[in-house]
Homo-oligomer: A and B are copies of this chain.
Amino acid sequence: VIADPTPRQDIPDATVARLPQYLRALRDLSDRGVASVSSEELAAAAGVRSAKLRRDLSHLGSYGVRGVGYGVEMLAQEITRELGLSQNWPVAIVGLGNLGHALAAYLGLATRGFQVVALLDRDAEVIGQQIAGIVVASVDDLERIVTERGVAICVIATPAASAQKVCDRFVAVGVRSVLNFAPCVLSVPEGVDVRKVDLSTELQILAFHEQRKALADPESLPLEPLLEVAP
Protein backbone atom coordinates (compact mmCIF):
# COMPACT_ATOMS: atom_id res chain seq x y z
CA VAL A 1 0.00 0.00 0.00
CA ILE A 2 1.38 3.38 -0.93
CA ALA A 3 0.78 6.08 1.65
CA ASP A 4 -1.19 9.16 0.78
CA PRO A 5 1.32 11.91 -0.05
CA THR A 6 -1.02 14.89 0.40
CA PRO A 7 0.13 17.84 2.55
CA ARG A 8 -2.39 16.62 5.15
CA GLN A 9 -4.19 18.68 7.74
CA ASP A 10 -2.46 20.22 10.69
CA ILE A 11 -0.83 18.04 13.30
CA PRO A 12 -0.68 19.48 16.84
CA ASP A 13 2.74 20.76 17.93
CA ALA A 14 2.75 18.48 20.95
CA THR A 15 2.32 15.52 18.63
CA VAL A 16 5.03 16.63 16.21
CA ALA A 17 7.41 16.94 19.15
CA ARG A 18 6.83 13.29 20.02
CA LEU A 19 7.05 11.80 16.54
CA PRO A 20 10.87 11.64 16.72
CA GLN A 21 10.62 9.55 19.89
CA TYR A 22 8.22 7.15 18.25
CA LEU A 23 10.46 6.93 15.22
CA ARG A 24 13.46 6.09 17.35
CA ALA A 25 11.52 3.42 19.22
CA LEU A 26 10.31 1.95 15.93
CA ARG A 27 13.84 1.79 14.55
CA ASP A 28 15.01 -0.02 17.68
CA LEU A 29 12.20 -2.52 17.26
CA SER A 30 12.97 -2.89 13.59
CA ASP A 31 16.64 -3.56 14.37
CA ARG A 32 15.52 -6.30 16.73
CA GLY A 33 13.46 -7.85 13.97
CA VAL A 34 10.04 -7.01 15.43
CA ALA A 35 7.44 -6.75 12.68
CA SER A 36 4.36 -5.61 14.54
CA VAL A 37 3.75 -3.71 17.76
CA SER A 38 0.76 -2.73 19.87
CA SER A 39 0.13 0.81 21.07
CA GLU A 40 0.81 -0.40 24.59
CA GLU A 41 4.26 -1.76 23.71
CA LEU A 42 5.30 1.13 21.51
CA ALA A 43 4.12 3.64 24.09
CA ALA A 44 6.21 1.93 26.75
CA ALA A 45 9.27 2.02 24.49
CA ALA A 46 8.75 5.73 23.86
CA GLY A 47 7.95 6.58 27.46
CA VAL A 48 4.35 7.76 27.02
CA ARG A 49 0.87 6.42 27.73
CA SER A 50 -0.84 4.30 25.14
CA ALA A 51 -3.86 6.57 24.77
CA LYS A 52 -1.58 9.46 23.94
CA LEU A 53 0.30 7.41 21.40
CA ARG A 54 -2.89 6.30 19.67
CA ARG A 55 -4.23 9.85 19.61
CA ASP A 56 -0.93 11.09 18.18
CA LEU A 57 -0.81 8.46 15.47
CA SER A 58 -4.44 9.07 14.57
CA HIS A 59 -3.38 12.52 13.36
CA LEU A 60 -1.24 10.85 10.69
CA GLY A 61 -4.09 8.68 9.46
CA SER A 62 -5.11 5.08 10.09
CA TYR A 63 -1.92 3.07 10.02
CA GLY A 64 -2.86 0.48 12.61
CA VAL A 65 -4.79 -2.76 12.37
CA ARG A 66 -7.49 -3.34 14.97
CA GLY A 67 -6.91 -6.41 17.07
CA VAL A 68 -3.28 -6.56 15.92
CA GLY A 69 -1.26 -3.37 16.22
CA TYR A 70 0.98 -1.31 13.96
CA GLY A 71 3.36 -2.55 11.30
CA VAL A 72 6.78 -1.44 12.46
CA GLU A 73 8.32 -0.78 9.04
CA MET A 74 5.27 0.87 7.61
CA LEU A 75 4.73 3.16 10.55
CA ALA A 76 8.41 4.10 10.65
CA GLN A 77 8.28 4.98 7.00
CA GLU A 78 5.13 7.02 7.44
CA ILE A 79 6.61 9.03 10.32
CA THR A 80 9.85 9.49 8.38
CA ARG A 81 7.87 10.91 5.49
CA GLU A 82 5.71 13.07 7.71
CA LEU A 83 8.73 14.56 9.48
CA GLY A 84 10.35 15.36 6.16
CA LEU A 85 13.28 13.00 6.66
CA SER A 86 13.01 11.30 3.28
CA GLN A 87 15.40 13.92 2.00
CA ASN A 88 18.66 15.15 3.53
CA TRP A 89 18.28 18.71 4.69
CA PRO A 90 21.45 20.76 4.23
CA VAL A 91 22.63 22.07 7.61
CA ALA A 92 25.16 24.77 8.49
CA ILE A 93 26.80 25.06 11.90
CA VAL A 94 28.23 28.40 13.06
CA GLY A 95 30.58 28.60 15.97
CA LEU A 96 33.06 25.74 16.36
CA GLY A 97 34.04 26.01 19.97
CA ASN A 98 33.72 22.95 22.16
CA LEU A 99 30.00 22.70 21.60
CA GLY A 100 29.96 23.39 17.87
CA HIS A 101 32.69 20.85 17.44
CA ALA A 102 30.69 18.24 19.29
CA LEU A 103 27.57 19.02 17.27
CA ALA A 104 29.47 18.77 14.00
CA ALA A 105 30.91 15.40 14.99
CA TYR A 106 27.52 14.10 16.04
CA LEU A 107 25.69 15.30 12.96
CA GLY A 108 28.48 14.23 10.66
CA LEU A 109 27.78 10.63 11.56
CA ALA A 110 24.71 9.77 13.45
CA THR A 111 21.74 11.40 11.85
CA ARG A 112 19.59 10.44 8.92
CA GLY A 113 17.66 13.23 7.23
CA PHE A 114 20.36 15.83 7.62
CA GLN A 115 23.67 16.59 5.99
CA VAL A 116 26.18 19.07 7.33
CA VAL A 117 27.22 21.12 4.32
CA ALA A 118 28.95 24.06 6.00
CA LEU A 119 30.93 24.87 9.13
CA LEU A 120 31.56 28.53 9.87
CA ASP A 121 33.66 30.34 12.45
CA ARG A 122 35.14 33.76 13.03
CA ASP A 123 38.43 32.62 14.54
CA ALA A 124 41.39 32.40 12.13
CA GLU A 125 42.79 29.58 14.28
CA VAL A 126 39.79 27.42 13.48
CA ILE A 127 39.15 28.40 9.85
CA GLY A 128 40.71 25.87 7.50
CA GLN A 129 40.62 23.04 10.03
CA GLN A 130 38.76 19.95 9.00
CA ILE A 131 36.02 18.68 11.32
CA ALA A 132 33.96 15.61 10.52
CA GLY A 133 35.30 15.76 6.98
CA ILE A 134 34.35 19.37 6.32
CA VAL A 135 36.67 22.35 6.14
CA VAL A 136 35.70 25.22 8.41
CA ALA A 137 35.06 28.38 6.40
CA SER A 138 35.06 32.00 7.47
CA VAL A 139 31.81 33.40 8.73
CA ASP A 140 32.52 36.36 6.42
CA ASP A 141 31.45 34.11 3.54
CA LEU A 142 28.19 33.11 5.21
CA GLU A 143 25.87 34.56 2.57
CA ARG A 144 27.73 33.06 -0.37
CA ILE A 145 28.09 29.63 1.22
CA VAL A 146 24.49 29.40 2.43
CA THR A 147 23.24 30.27 -1.03
CA GLU A 148 25.64 28.04 -2.97
CA ARG A 149 25.07 25.02 -0.77
CA GLY A 150 21.33 25.48 -0.32
CA VAL A 151 21.42 25.55 3.49
CA ALA A 152 17.92 25.03 4.87
CA ILE A 153 18.64 24.78 8.59
CA CYS A 154 21.26 26.61 10.61
CA VAL A 155 22.64 25.64 13.97
CA ILE A 156 23.94 28.54 16.04
CA ALA A 157 26.64 27.60 18.55
CA THR A 158 28.33 30.99 18.89
CA PRO A 159 28.59 33.05 22.07
CA ALA A 160 25.35 34.81 22.97
CA ALA A 161 26.76 38.19 21.95
CA SER A 162 27.08 37.15 18.28
CA ALA A 163 24.02 34.97 17.96
CA GLN A 164 21.46 37.58 16.91
CA LYS A 165 23.70 39.07 14.21
CA VAL A 166 24.54 35.67 12.76
CA CYS A 167 20.88 34.70 12.86
CA ASP A 168 19.84 37.87 11.03
CA ARG A 169 22.32 37.11 8.26
CA PHE A 170 20.96 33.59 7.80
CA VAL A 171 17.41 34.85 7.72
CA ALA A 172 18.33 37.56 5.22
CA VAL A 173 19.48 34.94 2.73
CA GLY A 174 16.37 32.82 3.16
CA VAL A 175 16.99 30.35 5.98
CA ARG A 176 13.74 29.74 7.85
CA SER A 177 14.74 27.13 10.43
CA VAL A 178 17.13 27.92 13.25
CA LEU A 179 18.40 25.77 16.08
CA ASN A 180 19.86 28.01 18.76
CA PHE A 181 22.36 26.79 21.34
CA ALA A 182 23.38 30.28 22.43
CA PRO A 183 21.89 31.31 25.77
CA CYS A 184 19.79 34.19 24.46
CA VAL A 185 16.47 34.95 22.82
CA LEU A 186 16.57 35.37 19.05
CA SER A 187 14.10 37.64 17.28
CA VAL A 188 13.09 36.52 13.84
CA PRO A 189 10.39 37.58 11.40
CA GLU A 190 7.11 35.73 10.90
CA GLY A 191 7.60 32.45 9.08
CA VAL A 192 10.97 31.63 10.60
CA ASP A 193 11.09 28.87 13.20
CA VAL A 194 13.53 28.98 16.08
CA ARG A 195 14.09 26.17 18.52
CA LYS A 196 16.31 26.63 21.53
CA VAL A 197 18.47 24.17 23.39
CA ASP A 198 19.89 25.45 26.62
CA LEU A 199 21.86 23.47 29.15
CA SER A 200 21.57 25.95 31.96
CA THR A 201 17.81 26.33 31.57
CA GLU A 202 17.43 22.58 31.87
CA LEU A 203 19.65 22.44 34.94
CA GLN A 204 17.71 25.26 36.55
CA ILE A 205 14.44 23.44 36.03
CA LEU A 206 15.96 20.37 37.67
CA ALA A 207 17.27 22.54 40.52
CA PHE A 208 13.77 23.84 41.16
CA HIS A 209 12.38 20.35 41.61
CA GLU A 210 15.46 19.18 43.49
CA GLN A 211 14.94 22.00 45.96
CA ARG A 212 11.31 21.01 46.43
CA LYS A 213 12.34 17.45 47.11
CA ALA A 214 15.03 18.56 49.54
CA LEU A 215 12.52 20.70 51.44
CA ALA A 216 9.98 17.90 51.55
CA ASP A 217 12.58 15.39 52.74
CA PRO A 218 15.36 17.17 54.67
CA GLU A 219 17.18 13.86 55.38
CA SER A 220 18.72 13.88 51.97
CA LEU A 221 20.08 17.38 51.70
CA PRO A 222 23.50 17.87 50.10
CA LEU A 223 26.15 16.80 52.57
CA GLU A 224 27.56 20.13 53.64
CA PRO A 225 27.52 23.87 53.06
CA LEU A 226 28.79 24.14 49.50
CA LEU A 227 31.81 26.02 48.31
CA GLU A 228 31.34 29.34 46.65
CA VAL A 229 32.30 29.47 42.99
CA ALA A 230 34.04 32.38 41.27
CA PRO A 231 31.54 34.44 39.24
CB distance from A7 to the nearest CB of B (A): 5
Q: Is residue A87 within 8 Å, beta carbon to beta carbon, of the partner chain?
A: yes
User: Complex formed: what's the CA distance from A203 to B103 in Å?
Assistant: 12
A226 nearest in chain B by CB position = B88
Quick one: closest B residue to A13, CB to CB?
Answer: B205
Contacts of A35 in B (CB 8 A): none
B-side contacts of A169, CB under 8 Å: none
Give per-residue flags for A23-61: 1 if the beta carbon is below 8 A from chain B beta carbons, else 0: 111000000000000000000011100000000000000
The contact of A84 among B90, B150, B174, B208, by CB within 8 Å, is: B208
Copies in the assembly, this chain: 2
Query: Chain A interface residue count: which class?
Result: 35 or more
Known: A112-B231, A177-B210, A229-B88. A205 touches B153 (CB 8 A): no
| A134 interfacial by beta-carbon distance below 8 Å | no
Binding stretch for chain B, among A65-73, A118-126, A136-144, A192-200: A192-200
Chain B residues near A153 (CB, 8 Å)?
A: 203, 206-207, 210
A58 and B72 CA atoms in complex are apart in Å by: 47
Given contacts A90-B226, A150-B224, A191 and B213 within 8 Å (CB-CB): yes
**Besides A7-B215, A19-B204, A83-B207, 7 new A-B residue pairs in contact (Cβ under 8 A), listed by A number:** A16-B208, A17-B201, A20-B201, A85-B204, A113-B203, A113-B204, A197-B199
